[in-house]
Amino acid sequence: MLRQQEILALELIFRGEDKLSRAIKKRISEAESVGWEETGVGFFSTIKLNYPLSEVPEVRMWSYAFDHPDFPFGGVFNCMIVNENEMELEGVTLGGIDWPHPIDPRLFSDIS
Amino acid sequence: MDENGLDTGKLNLSTGSLNIEHLTNRSYSSNQSVGVSANVAVSSQANPGDPTQSNTNLALNSSNYSYQNTSSQSLDKTLATVGQGSIKVGGKVVEPEGLNRDIANLTKDIYNVDRQQGNIELTVDHRLLSEEGRKQIAADFEKIADKVVEVVDTLNKASPELAGNVADAADNLQQGASDSVEGKDTTGQQIAEKVEDINQREAESLLAQELILPELGEPGDAPELIGKSFDEQVSELTALKSLQEGNFAAGEQSAEEAFQNGYIKGWESASGNGGNGWIGSDADYESAIAFYQNQNAQLRLSLGLPADAPIGGIGDAFLWGGASLLDATYQTLQFVGNVYSYPMGWSDSDNPFTANYDSLIGTDKLFGNPATVAGALGRDVGEIGSYIWEPTALLGTASILGKAAKFDDVGNVVPDKASIGFNGNPALDVVITQYNNNDIHHLFGRGGDTPTKLLDKFGSPEAALKELQMAAQQIANKNYQTGSWVTVKVGDTPVTIQGRVIDGTFRISSIAKKEF
């Protein structure tokens, strides 16, 4: 089971309806989080997919940079697809402030 | 019938002959595609035109069966009907077979299928066709089996009949793979026949359902590309490769592979070569092209050019190489002048190692700035050449020890490593103090190939950050897009970073754990 933050990050990064985004969103409910770490300015976690991706995409790194009222300089969610079964997720503030643990998806907007 | 339209059962029909024919009503609407395609491995060794390359290494690595639809189809019949009562044909009472006698039910639904929007794919791995391939397939067969189960499960909701066929196909494949694993005498030919049989049954099944099979790909069918055509992209890649040697090596390789993948499949699509229509192909055109274009843009930004700057020609490179050499000479003269004047005036502004040096290159300067990739690269080559060409290399020394500005506003200045600021921005040491322990831990504490390389090279996170910050600062004034990934060089090490430019300073937020 993923944390709320992890689900939010994945849903924002893979908010599109392309093949990869659909495949990942489909696997969120069955995914597991291992190696969760809060760094003060963000977090890292390793996501294990119980249903592997049918293929690893050419583009491994996917990001969503956002504006948010609690982030004076914005923030970024990153997801590196390591292999069919594993992804490395990262959230980090831009500008070095403390990570405010945002959970309301309605407050996120594409970074200006 | 009575006054309510109900059958009284008192009908008497006498006729010489009776022919029964039901009326067929068919409706069908769809937005769907069905694809049977083959995929080609894209490796640097792969050559679609080389018949000597083995199946395992090159050509038909897999067949894709894709089935996507939003469709509705129904078939019913208006039945030939005669109400309840007596029917005589040729004077004999009969009960004609197939004749509907129920006037309350005049139609019969044959089928009525509303398919949910589907996206179903089955991949048949052609490694089954060779001994070596079967060994490979044995290793990961468990994954395939899981996938097939998932496919059948999904397919079952849309079309039980098709799901049954796929399940049969899966059984055949499983048997073939099991035989292979167990070392039974299952020849490649036998397995090939099974695959062919699956192909045939898939096609028959689809045809039986009156689905619209796609034509092979035509050039006009290819998805619209982002911005530029394949040919233009290839041409650009070739031109850039000849110019940017040593720059963005890792990124270029990734981009090339990504692009090649899309290109080869697009080429197959356009030519219809080998029957590989693009419909059903898993080529991720948009991602491949977008990634490639991003790399092109990053190269330009790293040279201080707009993201869409033209490539330019060799003439630009020569022109700006010469300009750069002249500029070096001009600055050398200033340096030498300071060497002579410094002992007399003792003015800091004359100190040859800390003085500002005027440049001929830059905004509002004599030569201005190059506008093309070739020009910018020529300018950089000229700068490097100037250190060799100048007899005493004095200016090179001054550049390192002082804050000699080779160029203005074009981002190629490597600032003083010790204490002098970044083109008027806060000094490096001040910038570094703005990173707290959490920031530094986030950048280096998680491990990863690239952070580890930097730590090994510079000994501590703080020292590594200082070097990285100097490299990052060079792109601070180059239209950096907030939150995007960009690769800088720290010595010989490419480091991909992400951040935001705040008050002229590049604030690094993240380092890619490995280059991508």
Task: Give kind and range of the element (H or E) at residue B24.
Answer: strand B23-40
B265, pLDDT greater than 50: no
B118, pLDDT greater than 60: no
pTM for the structure as a whole: 0.39
Output the pLDDT for position B406.
Answer: 38
The closest CB to that of B442, out of A63, A74, A92, belongs to A92
Instruction: For residue range B461-501, list pLDDT tens digits in order.
Output: 999 999 999 889 888 866 788 999 988 989 889 999 999 99
Mean pLDDT of B269-281: 38
Strands B85-89 and B11-15: parallel
Are A65 and B510 inside 8 Å of each other by CB?
no
CB < 8 Å to B500, chain A: 73-74, 94-95
Residue A29 backbone phi and psi in degrees, to 5: -65, -25
What's the pLDDT band for B150 if we cut at 50, 70, 90? Answer: low
B513: left (phi over 0), alpha (psi -120 to 50) or beta: alpha
**The token pair that represents B18 in the structure block:** 């009776």
Q: What is the residue whose two structure tokens read 């831009």?
A: A94
The closest CB to that of B516, out of A18, A60, A92, belongs to A60
CA B2, CA B395: separation in Å to the nearest integer? 114
Task: Give kind and range of the element (H or E) at residue B86.
Answer: strand B85-89
**The token pair that represents B248 in the structure block:** 């963005």
Our CA-based measurement puts residue B502 at a distance from the nearest CA of chain A, in whole angstroms, of 8
Are B119 and A111 inside 8 Å of each other by CB?
no
Our CA-based measurement puts residue A54 at a distance from the nearest CA of chain B, in whole angstroms, of 8
CB < 8 Å to A44, chain B: 446
Instruction: For residue range B364-395, list pLDDT tens digits in order.
Output: 666 677 777 666 766 665 554 443 333 333 33
What's the pLDDT band for B82 if we cut at 50, 70, 90? Answer: confident
B20, pLDDT greater than 70: yes
A109, pLDDT greater than 60: yes
Which of B361, B311, B306 has its CA nearest to residue B479?
B306
Chain B contact probe: residue of A44, A59, A98, A108 with most B CBs at under 10 A: A59
CA B455, CA B461: separation in Å to the nearest integer? 6
> Which residue did the predictor score with more confidence, B89 or B329?
B89
Residue B342 backbone phi and psi in degrees, to 5: -60, -45
A11, pLDDT greater than 90: yes
Q: What is the residue whose two structure tokens read 């945002």?
A: A102
The closest CB to that of B499, out of A22, A84, A94, belongs to A94
Are A74 and B500 inside 8 Å of each other by CB?
yes
Q: Please count the residue pairs, one from chain A and one from chain B, whose beta carbons lie less than 8 angstroms apart.
A: 104
Are B482 and A90 inside 8 Å of each other by CB?
no
Our CA-based measurement puts residue A22 at a distance from the nearest CA of chain B, in whole angstroms, of 10
The closest CB to that of B498, out of A76, A88, A95, belongs to A76
Output the pLDDT for position B280.
Answer: 35
Output the pLDDT for position B268.
Answer: 46
Output the pLDDT for position B443.
Answer: 96
Residue of A nearest to B119 (CA): A19
CB environment B72-100: b (16+ within 10 A), e (fewer): ebebbbebbbebeeebeeeeeeeeeeeeb
Under DSSP, the state recorded for B32 is E
Q: Judge whether B73 and B30 are in contact, CB under 8 Å.
A: yes
Are B146 and A51 inside 8 Å of each other by CB?
yes
- Chain A contacts to B (CB-CB under 8 A): 18-20, 22, 37, 39-42, 44, 51-52, 54-55, 57-61, 63, 65, 73-74, 76, 78, 80, 84, 88, 90, 92-96, 98, 111
**The token pair that represents B424 in the structure block:** 């008027």
Are B143 and A39 inside 8 Å of each other by CB?
no
CB < 8 Å to A61, chain B: 485, 512, 516
Are A80 and B146 inside 8 Å of each other by CB?
no
Instruction: For residue range B448-461, list pLDDT tens digits in order.
Output: 999 999 999 999 99
CA B14, CA B90: separation in Å to the nearest integer? 8
Helices (H), chain A: 4-13, 19-27
Q: Judge whether B269 and B277 are in contact, CB under 8 Å.
A: yes
Instruction: For residue range B406-423, list pLDDT tens digits in order.
Output: 333 333 333 332 222 333
Are A58 and B498 inside 8 Å of each other by CB?
no
CA B472, CA B428: separation in Å to the nearest integer? 11
CA–CA distances in Å: residue B33 to residues B74, B111, B221, B282, B407 = 18, 21, 13, 14, 57
Dihedral (CA of B380, B384, B385, B387) sign: positive
Output the pLDDT for position B298.
Answer: 63
Residue of B nearest to A85 (CA): B143
Helices (H), B1-140: 131-139
